[in-house]
Structure 1
Amino acid sequence: MTAISIIIAILVFGIIVLVHEWGHFIVARRVGVIVQEFAIGMGPKLIGHTSKKGTLYSLRLLPIGGYCKMLGEDEAVDEEGSYSSKSVPARMAIVAAGPLMNFVLAFVILLFFCGIYGYTTTYVNEVEADYPAAAAGLESGDRFLSINGHRVHLFNKISYLLSEYQEGDTVTAVVEKPDGTKKELEFKPKYDEAQGRYRMGFSAKTSGGNLSDVLKSEGIGALPSYLGGMISNSFWTLCFDVELTVRGFVQLITGQVGADAVAGPIGIVTIIGDSYEQGLAYGFTTALYNVFSMIVLLSVNLGALNLFPIPALDGSRLVFHAIEGIRRKPVNPKVENAIYMIGFVLLMILMVVIAFSDIRKLL
């Protein structure tokens, strides 16, 4: 991996962390909480600047995270402008804003992708003869509604669900016909020797090109429909990515996958760098697309994982605030801090294990 790739990877990691912490920062400021420090990175301070409002903006040595330090965040401070003096809803809004901004970042990039490259719909374009889809009665113009009971709003999810089935399995799909009637179809995947995989034998309709192409061919009247498709596709892609992140994490904590399947900061930098270099083989535009795709993936991962109720992550703080709101009194600070400390230590141990795994993969 080249030096440029490493720099790009670190910048990508920094952007994702910056957006996350900026979410906490902007809402904290909005509700009147004093932000003492806004840091990108961990460890020793490299550079810093203190604003007129007293906030230290710093860049730190280790590009493995960041933080937004607020007055009264870790202890009760009876002072105007402290985190602890604010209402439960205000504190929950501050905490939730970090993950939310990661989702917003991913959504905006996905929206941009749809406008530049177009998108694939859940409508059927062509059905191949001699394949299960045709035999089951699937026709051009049909729209998929569900696969084996799973609602589908995205072609990627259709592909994902169908990829789980093998020859002999029965797939039940509910489709909407062009006249609006719904029909349940049953078919079994067929192995394609040429492609080396199981296939149903159909293709999906696309948006008809990117936004510029559609406007040129169909005029401004096509704009509302195309924008609606862009927003819908981006939203459901985001939801699907969150679903995959949650599923992967559950598999990790239940032992279905090992630590080797997880990447820490070292592994993530390597993945981003490799993705950039692989894209360069097809041109700078492809490399850029790969980098922004990684931003989407990692931003969704950071946002979703932070919402899990794991001590030291945003999700656990949300749980404690929710308990406080229900009980009408805060959890004992000593108990809360002890849980946070235990969680932080366990998280650091996990990070060390993952770091060793990342290093072993590089050797």
Structure 2
Amino acid sequence: MMVIFGIILGLLILVLLVVIHELGHAIAARRNGVVVEEFGIGFPPRAWSKKLKNGVLFTLNWLPLGGFVKLQGEHDAADQPGDYGAATFWQKTKILLAGVAVNWVAAGFLLTILAWTGLPKILPNQFSVPSDTTVASSPVRILSTADNYPAVTAGIREGDIIQSIDGQAVETVEEFVDMTVAARGETVSVAYERAGDLMTSQVRLRDADSAGVAGPIGILGVIFPAAGQAGLTQLTFLTAIISLTLAVMNALPIPALDGGRWFVTAIFKLLRKPLTKDLEEKIHGTGFMLLIGLIILVTIADVGKLFN
């Protein structure tokens, strides 16, 4: 049930982050004289639409995988008034990078809130203390768990206090992390305390690759449910990280992405050669197909992890 809730919650957050990204493009386009024909949430087929007073067609679509903005004359060769192609290089730069900027601002806003409210302590004694100060280590307590993970499968629950791994005492979170990383892919004996009773479980730790790269399915099926269980602070932190990731990814000079579109436009401007509609479609179409192929490969790996 938590997985389903996490997927729905994660989907809503991902759509929201993509929508504000596209909204950045739309606002920048209108401010620079480019006509915005359509602003859509989700991808077609279309479920509902309305013509706004400013002339923009606002649509809600059936595939909840993000959003999009459609500009008039999106090809660089377009030259009619209001066309994106007719805008100056500086105007195109502002339009293309506006979405990236919005994601940066959103991430900065969320991280600023977390800086005020505080993030959970990850490692004990993170900050230096005077040498004559005595530091007491707190026990390594399980604060939250996620369904279908090795610890939960082995019977370890929230609130348990880890005592040792394979007979080696665990006194700090840092030691716990180091021990589990060193034993990835192996079965270890974990001794823990629950309500005053000492218990032992055999835990099969995940391999190094199993927690490596996560695509959309991995984020929605594993990471968001775990963050949702951990609480609002972790969920907010994850949202900020994903917003930063969207900003960085879209800024990369990869065809079909914002950075790639800007890079191609800049190259042809430097070479003083016209960027025809057909050539532009071939460049970005190839980049798009490569991205889709990568997403499919990562998704297949994600599905395998979910059912493992």
* Fold agreement, TM-score > 0.5: yes
Farther-moved stretch of structure 1 (297-306 vs 39-48): 39-48
* Corresponding residue for residue 80 of structure 1: 81
**How much does 1:355 deviate?**
1.5
Name the SS of the counterpart of 1:54 in structure 2. Answer: coil
Inter-CA distance 268–47: structure 2 relative to 1 (3 Å threshold): farther
**How much does 1:75 deviate?**
5.6
* Corresponding residue for residue 267 of structure 1: 218
**How much does 1:258 deviate?**
7.2
Is the aligned partner of 1:125 residue 2:129? yes
Is the aligned partner of 1:319 residue 2:268? no
**How much does 1:302 deviate?**
0.7
Name the SS of the counterpart of 1:84 in structure 2. Answer: coil
**For residues 214-258 of structure 1, what are the alpha-carbon distances to aligned partners after superposition, in whole Å with 9 as ceiling and x for unaligned?**
xxxxxxxxxxxxxxxxxxxxxxxxxxxxxxxxxxxxxxxxxxx97
**How much does 1:320 deviate?**
1.5
Structure 2, unaligned stretches of length 5 or more?
135-168, 176-207
Name the SS of the counterpart of 1:310 in structure 2. Answer: coil
Is the aligned partner of 1:354 residue 2:293? no
Is the Cα–Cα contact under 8 Å of residues 36 and 70 in structure 2 kept in the other structure?
yes
Name the SS of the counterpart of 1:78 in structure 2. Answer: coil
Is the Cα–Cα contact under 8 Å of residues 14 and 65 in structure 1 kept in the other structure?
yes
Give the letter aligned to residue 267 of structure 1.
Answer: G
Is the Cα–Cα contact under 8 Å of residues 13 and 63 in structure 1 kept in the other structure?
no
TM-score norm. by structure 1 comes to 0.59
Is the Cα–Cα contact under 8 Å of residues 260 and 357 in structure 1 kept in the other structure?
no
Is the Cα–Cα contact under 8 Å of residues 92 and 321 in structure 1 kept in the other structure?
no
CA RMSD of aligned residues (A): 3.1
TM-score norm. by structure 2 comes to 0.68
**How much does 1:290 deviate?**
1.9
* Corresponding residue for residue 208 of structure 1: none
**How much does 1:96 deviate?**
0.6
Structure 1: which 4+ aligned runs deviate by more than 6 Å? 257-260
CA distance in 2, matches of 1:318, 1:75: 11
CA distance in 1, matches of 2:211, 2:91: 39
How many residue pairs match? The answer is 239
CA distance in 1, matches of 2:131, 2:72: 62
* Corresponding residue for residue 40 of structure 2: 39
* Corresponding residue for residue 105 of structure 1: 106
* Corresponding residue for residue 171 of structure 2: 194
Give the letter aligned to residue 5 of structure 1.
Answer: G
CA distance in 1, matches of 2:44, 2:38: 14
Inter-CA distance 28–196: structure 2 relative to 1 (3 Å threshold): closer
**For residues 292-333 of structure 1, what are the alpha-carbon distances to aligned partners after superposition, in whole Å with 9 as ceiling and x for unaligned?**
111111001111011111111111111122223323444343
Is the aligned partner of 1:293 residue 2:263? no
Is the Cα–Cα contact under 8 Å of residues 259 and 354 in structure 1 kept in the other structure?
no
